[in-house]
């Protein structure tokens, strides 16, 4: 393998990939970074078994000035290699691998020789046919991820709940996450009709992916194999391992009727809950009580912390219909849910004081549902 | 042919001796008790070869009349009971009329006595046979000399432990007798060496320091309490002064040393969680009660007694000790411990120590002059060390009243502050419940104002205070905070339950599952509501809200494990144990870095705790480096006069 | 690689597994038992290779393709090899293990997890293993390797398929080793000839055994100086837990030889000094000889109880002297 390239462009790609490389791992080769050079591009790969990232620099990229002399591949110790590249003099450097896996790096007057490992030893990431792709907008995908991972669990005791359940069926993508106390479900329409998938993706991977996705509405591609999920964007491929097991059936948990409905402005309501939670946090007793009286058109929130104090606030709302209700819940869950809606009006539907209640945006009710379980007070 | 014969006297005596005279120490005990009953003010005990070759007890009591000498050595003859009711109103130590004849049946006894200064009698008895009787000149009092003990019962002789052990037992008995009678000057000599000398000036603390050493005596607090039936007096050690066995808890009932499991436990319980695991305090508790309430005639050695209203007495002892300790500043002075070195009186080591001329805890050539000096130094030391000894004794008397006022005042302020009568729905109930459980006011007052400086080794927090500085063990500190949180949380009837969307299924082995099934109700009381779900599985749909986020399953499993491990325990103990375990497990450990904010938060949390001085296992949370102590370390304070001048 | 070796050493098992692989009949959990050096790890790797190999021959791995090479060099991302360090599996490793039970492979859904010294699993690791075995997900297969069955929880043992490593008999081993020129002592220490060669090279073992025999001769001669040998001759060579274990093993083998002497057969492991011992030992009554053997056999238990090793050996010396010379 032989090529030369502009350092800055290389480092940019390198940094992206290095995020996934762990310094301690059971599989020695994963402490290395894989460089693959084809006739069209240079690909950098890093992985920690759960997440793998391939970042490419194409020949036609003017910023990079990639000159391909000979194709090939090798694996170099990641930390050491990246330090070298960062400290090289000059704007460009060239790299050359020899038969014995030794790699030479030249820049200006300095010559580095690094011992590499054959790229054959590196894990083979799955390749999925193009026909099996799912396209959607980057910012939409980002939003979906951010709106669901908040509800995922981070306890190791039930590993399945640490993932987000993605199902693709009849042209629709459904993403569900729950930690058993609250649940978040998001549905978006897709432009394909014949692909079916049912996978669980670790929330940690999705959070990383969301960080890397661009903010624009450019299209990204999702491909799913039997054991990995891939996301293509911006000359990068993001791989995530899937979780094995059966995700609990959450569809039946979402109530489809409602006895009481409260419509509020998300931000205003959030502010009120925030105030109420001030008290509950003080006293280690993290519960607030909501009292709804549609007859008198009154909605109140009450927080109490023994020895600290209380808060009582009458709430503003857009509409309140149905039966009277008193219900208690953890304000932090409510806050997380409200945050995820952004600036909009939200409908909160209750059935009974001991059953979970839902939050949905006033328009597009079926696409985004947050579910929270209440607390039973004695 | 008659097969049943009445036992000849000597045989009967020897049998009785088997119960009363087990070893040389029993002889010493019986003789000294006789001396005490004779109203002596000075009793000297001499032993040789740990009592096997010689035991001599000399007192200055009433003496025995010449014509009653032989009678004294007959069984069941005693001067101490006058009628049949006397048995139930025992005011003397001896009463069974067995000691002298028992001893004489297994040894060579020479008794010299005089009822007035001048003329006295001497009688010698061996193996129950009188050998000699004559008139002698003697000051008032009695001297009993016992030689060749067990000469005619070789089996018992062989059964004795090593000379050091036997001597240790004698020493122990004499110590306890001395503690029971601080008004008598007792001395113990072995082979010409003085082992104990008390002043006999009725000062219990001095007696304690003669036995256990001045340093230890300085770390003991006086206690006293009264109720209608009992009077409790004595000294208890500070929680930092402990021993590995309960042997150092001396119970005295009407001056008699007794052993009582319940009372000893009451003493230990009075310390609560201030004691480290496996460690016991040193205590001398003198109880005075109407003799009618006590039945001493339970065991021949009279060490076991039966007490009426024992439970009431136990509670009195426990509460007294508890309250006494609560008013004390329990922060160990770091440097005092540092310099003190070991002052332990380890009974097991006594053998070794007695072989050398160890003067660690004994004074040699004890003259009253010496003890007076030590009394002075003790007093001044007390003034320096415990800052509020005087206040403390006053507080003793008015302890209960003070606290009640304190609390209601605080509550009034609270109400005014928040101008909301709904804050405490039932102030009186809260006050009552607080009184029932733990004290607040005094403890909070004495926790110093700390200004956090830095974290050392990611394990200790260094904080500045008005006087010197403190080192806080972060793990112990957080353990205490969490423990109090959990105790309250579990004690409260905060049964609020958070529902689970995806219920939790727990599997256990068959034997474990059976235990769990039996205790489902108990678990429900602490908030863990299990339902049976198939064979050996349980399902849970909700959990208490006060569980920490993210750790619900772990906590549920831990609580169940607690139950499985300990079998049947009461709800309160279960909660207590769970609170302790969880607080330990969930606290930051040593070598866990804290940033400034976290450390500050921990210190302020600690200040809010009811007992910020110990972790739930009894270990100290913080140690104090007083300004003077530190200055001494740097040898800044050299001339005491100089420093005083500077202070002016 | 040791690939060929394993087929020769465990013909039955390799044939069995090859058959399973061919017919895709692997279950989710296997338990392999056998002493150190009996080939458990090699077998597990071999089976893993058989599963992933790109050109298997009747279920047997070719050993040459990329998959096989990566597996044998420890670089295959879907063949997880867990070796607990120290006395028990660490918290980190437990967490890692749990997450591996629940996630798919990197390259495909197939995954092999090998847990060596499985008896060192903590309760929580064992629990997640049980959970996995009861509800296995995907195509994950676990190999548990232990030296002996009674060290594992019975609930786990009952849920795995059990295989015992085939072992050549001791006589065979001794013969094989002797043919190679290796000291027969090594035959008692390991069943694997490779390891035996290594130990022979290292020389520690042989040196220790020589000093052990010298020490024992001194004891037989009623020389109290044998006590000094502990500190001067033994302890410098015994600096860590592994070396302690080695010495304990030597004591065990020595006691076996003493028994042989007592009943009149030849010593096997310590043949070099056999004659000297025979002469001296016959002077003593059988009871004394047996008592000495009992003393020696008591040592492993004491060592497990974390008694200071030097104290242990010194006490043993005194006890042996007392035993032989009253």
Shared-domain flag, residues B49 and B173: yes
Dist. CA A93–CA A107, nearest whole Å: 5
Confidence (pLDDT) at A74: 93
| Residues of chain C found within 8 Å of residue A245, distances taken between Cβ atoms | 102, 135, 137
Select from B461, B480, B455, B427 the least CA-distant residue to B611: B480
Shared-domain flag, residues C214 and C317: yes
Tell whether C280 is covered by a domain: yes
In tens, the pLDDT along A112-143 reads: 999 998 888 898 888 877 778 888 899 999 99
Same domain, yes or no, for B48 and B153? yes
Is residue C196 one of the residues assigned to a domain?
A: no
Given pLDDT bands bounded at 50, 70 and 90, which one contains residue A229?
very high
pLDDT higher at B21 or B571: B21
Among all residues of chain A, which has the CA nearest to that of B551? A155
Answer yes or no: do B93 and B155 share one domain.
yes
What are the start-end ranges of the H helices in B38-94? 69-72
| Residue A266, token pair as written in the block | 């998300």
d(Cα B504, Cα A8) in Å, to the nearest integer?
A: 52
ipTM of the complex: 0.75
A101-138 as b/e: b if 16+ CB within 10 A: eebebbbeeeebebebbebebbbebbebeeeebbebeb
Q: Is 70 exceeded by the pLDDT of residue B432?
A: no
Same domain, C66 and C160: yes
Mean pLDDT for the stretch of residues A78-96: 90
Q: How far is the C-alpha of A152 from the C-alpha of A193, rounded, in Å?
A: 28
- Per-residue DSSP letter, C232: I
Please report whether residue B509 resides in a domain.
yes
Position B443 pLDDT exceeds 50: no
From the list C96, C103, C137, the residue facing A241 with the nearest CB is C103
> Considering only CB atoms, which residues of chain B are within 8 Å of chain A?
414, 418, 420, 422-424, 485, 489, 493-502, 504, 542, 545-546, 550-554
* Residue B192 shares a structural domain with residue B208: no
Do the Cβ atoms of A245 and C135 come within 8 Å?
Answer: yes
Same domain, B229 and B170: no
Q: Which residue out of B425, B484, B489, B499 would a mutagenesis test of the A interface target, given it has the greatest number of A Cβ atoms within 10 Å?
A: B499
Q: Are residues C69 and C146 in the same domain?
A: yes
Whether pTM > 0.80 for this model: the answer is no
Q: In this structure, is residue C64 part of a structural domain?
A: yes
Q: Specify the pLDDT at position B14.
A: 65
pLDDT value, residue B337: 46
Residues B19 and B163 grouped into a single domain: yes
- Mean pLDDT for B354-375 is 35
Residue contact B499–A356, C-beta within 8 A? yes
Specify if B143 maps to a domain. yes
Among A5-14, C54-63, C195-204, C242-251, name the one with the lowest average pLDDT: C195-204
> For chains A and C, what is the number of CB pairs under 8 angstroms?
78
Q: Is residue B395 part of a domain?
A: no
Mean pLDDT check: name the lowest of A179-183, B515-519, C39-43. B515-519
**CATH code, domain carrying B470:** 3.30.1370.100
Q: Is residue C7 part of a domain?
A: yes
Per-residue confidence (pLDDT) for residue B497, from 0 to 100: 81
Q: Which residues of A touch B497 (CB under 8 A)?
A: 375-376
- The pLDDT assigned to B595 comes to 79
Could you report the per-residue pLDDT of C293-315, keeping only the tens digit for each?
Answer: 888 888 888 877 778 888 888 88
Whether the predicted pLDDT of B201 surpasses 80: yes
Are B476 and B619 in contact by the 8 Å Cβ rule? The answer is yes
Residue B403 located in a structural domain: no
- Find, in chain B, the residue whose alpha carbon is nearest to that of A183: B501
The DSSP string of A96-115 is EE-TTSEEEEEETTEEEEEE
The total number of structural domains that make up chain C: 2
What subunits make at least 3 CB pairs under 8 angstroms with B?
Answer: A
Q: Decide if C140 touches A, using CB distance below 8 A.
A: yes
DSSP secondary structure letter of residue B88: G
Average pLDDT of B509-532?
A: 80
Statement to judge: residues C209 and C148 lie in one domain: no
Q: Which of residues 180-239 of A touch C (CB under 8 A)?
A: 202, 226-228
Residues B181 and B210 in one domain: no
- Mean residue pLDDT of chain A comes to 89
CA distances from B257 to B201, B304, B475 (A): 19, 9, 42
First-to-last alpha carbon distance for chain A, in angstroms, is 72
B541-579: per-residue pLDDT in tens? 888 776 666 667 777 777 777 677 665 545 556 566 667
Residue B188 belongs to a domain = yes
Give the model's pLDDT for residue A46. Answer: 93
For residue B63, give the nearest of B182, B174, B153, B143 by alpha carbon.
B143
Which residues does chain A have within 8 Å of residue B542's beta carbon, measured at their own beta carbons?
376
Residues C219 and C123 grouped into a single domain: no
Q: Region B421-444: what's the mean pLDDT?
A: 38
CATH number of the domain that residue C89 is part of: 3.40.50.300
Distance (Å) from the C-alpha of residue A28 to the closest C-alpha of chain C? 6
Show residues of chain B in contact with A377, CB under 8 Å: 496
C320 within a domain of the structure (yes/no): yes
- pLDDT at position B250 over 70: yes
Q: How many CB atoms lie within 10 A of CB B137?
A: 10
Structural domain range at position C52:
3-164
The pLDDT value recorded for residue B387 is 37
Could you tell me if C54 lies within 8 Å of chain A, comparing CB atoms? no
Of C102, C134, C164, which residue is a domain's last?
Answer: C164
Residue B402 is assigned to a structural domain of this protein: no
| C13 plus C123 within the same structural domain | yes
What is the pLDDT, as a whole number, of residue B145? 92
pLDDT tens-digit series, residues C129-153: 887 887 777 788 999 998 878 778 7
**B183 and B322 fall within a common domain:** no
CATH number where B210 lies: 3.30.230.10
**Cβ–Cβ gap B545/A182 under 8 Å:** no
Residue B19: which pLDDT band, with cuts at 50, 70 and 90? low
CA separation for the pair A60, A67 (Å, rounded):
10
For residues C75 and C123, membership in a common domain is answered with yes
Same domain, C159 and C48: yes
For residue C177, being part of any structural domain is answered with: no
Our CA-based measurement puts residue C73 at a distance from the nearest CA of chain A, in whole angstroms, of 9
Asked if the structure places residue C17 within a domain, the reply is yes
Domains and CATH numbers, chain A: 2-121 (3.10.150.10), 135-248 (3.10.150.10), 254-372 (3.70.10.10)
pLDDT bin (cut points 50, 70, 90) of residue B396 is: very low
Segment B626-637 mean pLDDT: 80
> Residue B429 contacts by C-beta under 8 Å, 6 or more apart in sequence?
none
Distance between alpha carbon B404 and the CA centroid of its chain, in Å? 28
Residues B189 and B208 in one domain: no
pLDDT of residue C85 exceeding 80, the answer is no
Instruction: Determine the Cα–Cα distance for residues B527 and C62; give it in Å rounded to an integer.
Output: 59
Indicate if C248 and C151 belong to the same structural domain.
no
The pLDDT confidence band at residue A282, using thresholds 50, 70 and 90, is: low
Under the banding of pLDDT at 50, 70 and 90, the label for residue B523 is: confident
Residues C120 and C208 in one domain: no
Is pLDDT above 60 for B84? no
CB contact under 8 A, A375 and B497: yes
Instruction: Answer whether B464's CB lies under 8 Å from B450's CB.
Output: yes
Residues 210-269 of C with CB under 8 A from A: none
Which residue of A lies nearest to C65 if distances are taken between CA atoms?
A120
Tell me, yes or no, whether B453 and B323 share the same domain: no
pLDDT of B15 > 90? The answer is no
Question: Does one domain contain both B182 and B234?
Answer: no
Residue-level pLDDT at C4: 61
**Closest Cα in chain B to A281:** B546
**Per-residue pLDDT tens over the stretch B142-169:** 999 998 888 888 777 777 888 888 888 8
Measured CA to CA, the distance from residue C73 to residue B329 in angstroms comes to 65
**By mean pLDDT, which of C31-35, C41-45, C179-183 is the weakest?**
C179-183
Q: Which of C84, C5, C85, C12 is nearest to C45 (CA)?
A: C5
3-state secondary structure B270-287: HCHHHCCCCCEECEEEEE
Look at residues B348, B383, B418 and tell me which one is the last residue of a structural domain: B348
Confidence band of B276 (pLDDT split at 50, 70, 90): confident
Q: How many domains does chain B fold into?
A: 3
* Domain region containing B248: 204-348
For B575, the enclosing helix (H) or strand (E) is helix B571-586
A77/chain C closest Cα distance in angstroms: 14
pLDDT in the model for residue B438: 37
Domain end: C112, C133, C164, which one?
C164
Residues C140 and C19 in one domain: yes
Tokens 């039955």, residue? C12
Per-residue pLDDT of A248-261, as tens digits, reads 988 888 888 899 99
Asked if the Cβ–Cβ distance from A120 to C103 is below 8 Å, we say no
Percent of chain B with pLDDT over 90: 4
Percent of chain A with pLDDT over 90: 48
Rounded Cα–Cα distance for residues C149 and C119 (Å): 9
Q: Is there a single domain that holds both residue C100 and residue C207?
A: no
Query: In this predicted structure, what is the pLDDT of residue B402?
Result: 31
Determine the pLDDT at residue B401: 30
Q: Is residue C232 part of a domain?
A: yes
Q: Give the position of tokens 């609390």.
A: B407
Contact state of C104 with A227 under an 8 Å Cβ cutoff: yes
Last residue of a domain, one of B197, B215, B237: B197
The chain C residue lying nearest A200, using CA atoms, is C103
For chain B, what is the mean pLDDT?
A: 72
Out of C164, C194, C228, a domain closes at C164
Give yes or no for residue A372 having a pLDDT over 90: yes
Strands (E), B512-598: 531-532, 537-544
| pLDDT tens sequence across C250-265 | 888 888 888 888 887 8
Is C75's CB within 8 Å of A27's CB?
yes
Residues B239 and B327 in one domain: yes
**B263 assigned to some structural domain:** yes
Domain-embedded: residue B356: no
What pLDDT score was predicted for residue C169?
72
């Amino acid at each position: 393998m032989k090529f030369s390239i502009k350092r800055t462009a290389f480092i940019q790609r390198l940094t992206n990939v290095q995020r996934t490389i762990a310094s301690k791992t059971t599989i020695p080769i994963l402490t290395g970074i894989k460089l693959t050079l084809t006739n069209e591009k240079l690909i950098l790969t890093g992985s920690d078994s759960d997440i793998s990232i391939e970042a490419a620099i194409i020949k036609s990229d003017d910023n990079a000035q990639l000159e391909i002399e000979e194709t090939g591949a090798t694996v170099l110790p990641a930390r050491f290699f990246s330090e070298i590249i960062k400290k090289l003099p000059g704007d460009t450097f060239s790299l050359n691998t020899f038969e014995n896996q030794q790699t030479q790096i030249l820049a200006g007057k300095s010559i580095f020789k690094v011992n590499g490992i054959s790229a054959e030893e590196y894990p083979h990431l799955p390749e999925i046919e193009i026909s099996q792709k799912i396209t959607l907008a980057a910012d939409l995908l980002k939003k979906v991820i951010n709106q669901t991972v908040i509800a995922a669990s981070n306890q190791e005791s039930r590993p399945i709940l640490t993932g987000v359940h993605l199902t693709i069926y009849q042209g629709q993508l459904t993403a569900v996450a729950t930690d058993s106390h609250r649940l978040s479900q998001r549905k978006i329409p897709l432009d394909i009709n014949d692909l079916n998938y049912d996978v669980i993706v670790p929330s940690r991977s999705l959070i990383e992916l969301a960080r890397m996705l661009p903010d624009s509405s450019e299209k990204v591609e999702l491909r799913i194999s039997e054991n990995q999920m891939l996301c293509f964007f911006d000359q990068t491929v993001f791989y995530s391992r899937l979780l094995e097991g059966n995700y609990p059936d959450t569809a039946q948990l979402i109530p489809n009727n409602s006895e009481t409905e409260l419509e509020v402005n998300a931000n205003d309501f959030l502010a009120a809950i925030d105030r109420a939670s001030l008290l509950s946090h003080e006293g280690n007793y993290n519960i607030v009580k909501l009292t709804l009286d549609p007859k008198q058109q009154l909605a109140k929130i009450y927080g109490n912390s023994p020895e600290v104090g209380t808060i009582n606030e009458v709430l503003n709302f857009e509409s309140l219909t149905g039966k009277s209700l008193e219900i208690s819940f953890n304000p932090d869950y409510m806050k997380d849910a409200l945050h995820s809606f952004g600036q909009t009006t939200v409908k909160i539907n209750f059935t009974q004081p001991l059953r979970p209640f839902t939050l949905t945006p006033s328009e597009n009710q079926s696409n985004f549902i947050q579910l929270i379980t209440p607390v039973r007070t004695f | 042919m008659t097969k049943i014969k009445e036992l000849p006297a000597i045989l009967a005596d020897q049998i009785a001796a088997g119960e009363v005279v087990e070893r040389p120490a029993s002889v010493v005990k019986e003789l000294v008790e006789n001396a005490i009953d004779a109203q002596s003010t000075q009793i000297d005990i001499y032993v040789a070869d740990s009592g096997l070759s010689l035991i001599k007890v000399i007192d200055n009591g009433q003496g025995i009349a010449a014509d009653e000498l032989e009678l004294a050595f007959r069984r069941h003859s005693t001067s101490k009971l006058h009628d049949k009711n006397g048995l139930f109103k025992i005011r003397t130590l001896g009463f069974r009329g067995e000691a002298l004849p028992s001893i004489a049946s297994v040894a060579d006894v020479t008794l010299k006595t005089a009822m007035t200064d001048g003329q006295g009698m001497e009688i010698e008895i061996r193996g129950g046979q009188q050998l000699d009787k004559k008139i002698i000149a003697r000051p008032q009092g009695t001297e009993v000399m016992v030689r060749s003990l067990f000469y005619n019962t070789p089996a018992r002789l062989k059964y004795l432990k090593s000379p050091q052990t036997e001597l240790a037992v004698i020493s122990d008995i004499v110590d306890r007798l001395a503690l029971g009678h601080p008004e008598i000057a007792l001395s113990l000599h072995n082979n010409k060496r003085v082992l104990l000398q008390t002043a006999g000036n009725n000062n219990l603390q001095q007696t304690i320091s003669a036995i256990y050493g001045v340093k230890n005596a300085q770390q003991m607090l006086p206690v006293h309490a009264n109720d209608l039936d009992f009077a409790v007096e004595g000294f208890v050690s500070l929680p930092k002064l402990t021993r590995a066995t309960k042997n150092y808890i001396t119970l005295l009932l009407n001056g008699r040393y007794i052993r009582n499991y319940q009372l000893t436990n009451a003493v230990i319980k009075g310390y609560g969680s201030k004691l480290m695991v496996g460690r016991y305090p040193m205590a001398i508790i003198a109880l005075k009660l109407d003799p009618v309430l006590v039945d001493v005639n339970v065991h021949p050695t009279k060490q076991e007694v039966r007490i009426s209203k024992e439970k009431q007495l136990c509670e009195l002892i426990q509460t007294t000790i508890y309250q006494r300790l609560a008013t004390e500043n329990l922060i160990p002075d770091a440097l005092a411990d540092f310099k003190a070195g070991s002052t332990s009186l380890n009974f097991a080591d006594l053998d070794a120590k007695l072989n050398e001329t160890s003067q660690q805890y004994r004074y040699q050539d004890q003259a009253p002059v010496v003890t007076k000096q030590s009394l002075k130094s003790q007093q001044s030391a007390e003034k320096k060390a415990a800052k509020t000894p005087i206040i403390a004794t006053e507080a003793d008397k008015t302890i209960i009243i003070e606290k009640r006022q304190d609390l209601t005042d605080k509550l009034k302020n609270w109400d005014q502050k928040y101008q909301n009568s709904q804050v405490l729905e039932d102030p009186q109930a809260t006050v009552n419940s607080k009184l029932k459980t733990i004290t607040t006011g005094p403890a909070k007052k004495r926790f110093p104002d700390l200004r956090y400086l830095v974290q050392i080794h990611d394990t200790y927090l260094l904080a500045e205070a008005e006087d010197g500085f403190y080192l806080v063990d972060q793990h112990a500190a957080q353990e205490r905070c969490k423990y109090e949180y959990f105790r309250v949380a579990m004690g409260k009837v905060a049964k609020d339950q958070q529902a689970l969307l995806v219920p939790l299924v727990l599997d256990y082995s068959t034997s474990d599952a059976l235990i769990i099934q039996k205790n489902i109700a108990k678990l429900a009381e602490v908030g863990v509501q299990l339902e049976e779900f198939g064979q050996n599985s349980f399902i849970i749909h909700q959990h208490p809200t006060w569980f920490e986020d993210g750790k619900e399953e772990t906590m549920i499993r831990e609580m169940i494990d607690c139950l499985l491990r300990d079998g049947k325990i009461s709800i309160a103990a279960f909660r207590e144990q769970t609170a302790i375990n969880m607080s330990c497990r969930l606290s930051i450990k040593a070598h866990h870095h804290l940033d400034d904010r976290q450390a500050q938060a921990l210190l302020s949390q600690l200040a809010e705790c009811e007992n910020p001085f110990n972790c739930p296992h009894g270990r100290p949370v913080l140690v104090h480096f007083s300004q003077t102590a530190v200055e001494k370390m740097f040898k800044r304070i050299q001339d005491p006069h100089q420093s005083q001048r500077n202070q002016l | 690689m040791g690939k060929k070796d394993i087929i020769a050493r465990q013909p039955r098992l390799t044939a069995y597994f090859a058959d399973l692989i061919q017919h895709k009949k692997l279950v989710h959990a296997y338990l392999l038992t056998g002493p150190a050096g009996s080939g458990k790890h090699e077998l597990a790797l071999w089976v893993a290779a058989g599963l992933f190999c790109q050109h298997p021959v009747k279920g047997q791995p070719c050993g040459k393709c990329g998959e096989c090479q990566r597996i044998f060099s420890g670089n295959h991302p879907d063949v997880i090899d867990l070796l607990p360090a120290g006395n028990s599996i660490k918290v980190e490793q437990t967490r890692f293990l749990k997450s591996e039970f629940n996630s798919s492979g990197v390259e495909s859904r197939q995954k092999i997890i090998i847990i060596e010294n499985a008896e060192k699993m903590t309760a929580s690791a064992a629990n997640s293993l049980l959970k996995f075995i009861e509800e296995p997900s995907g195509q994950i297969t676990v190999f548990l390797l232990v030296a002996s069955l009674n060290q594992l929880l019975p609930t786990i043992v009952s849920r795995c398929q059990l295989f015992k490593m085939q072992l050549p008999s001791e006589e065979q081993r001794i013969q094989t080793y002797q043919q190679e020129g290796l000291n027969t002592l090594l035959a008692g220490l390991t069943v694997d000839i490779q390891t035996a060669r290594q130990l022979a090279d290292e020389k520690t073992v042989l040196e220790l055994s020589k000093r052990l025999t010298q020490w024992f001769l001194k004891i037989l001669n009623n020389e109290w100086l044998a006590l000094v040998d502990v500190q001067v001759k033994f302890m410098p060579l015994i600096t860590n837990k592994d070396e302690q274990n080695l010495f304990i093993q030597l004591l065990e083998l020595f006691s076996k030889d003493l028994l042989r002497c007592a009943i009149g057969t030849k010593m096997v492991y310590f043949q070099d000094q056999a004659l000297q011992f025979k002469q001296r030992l016959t002077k003593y009554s059988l009871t004394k000889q047996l008592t000495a053997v009992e003393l020696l056999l008591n040592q492993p238990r004491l060592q497990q109880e974390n008694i200071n090793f030097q104290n242990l050996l010194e006490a043993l010396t005194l006890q042996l002297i007392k035993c032989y010379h009253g």
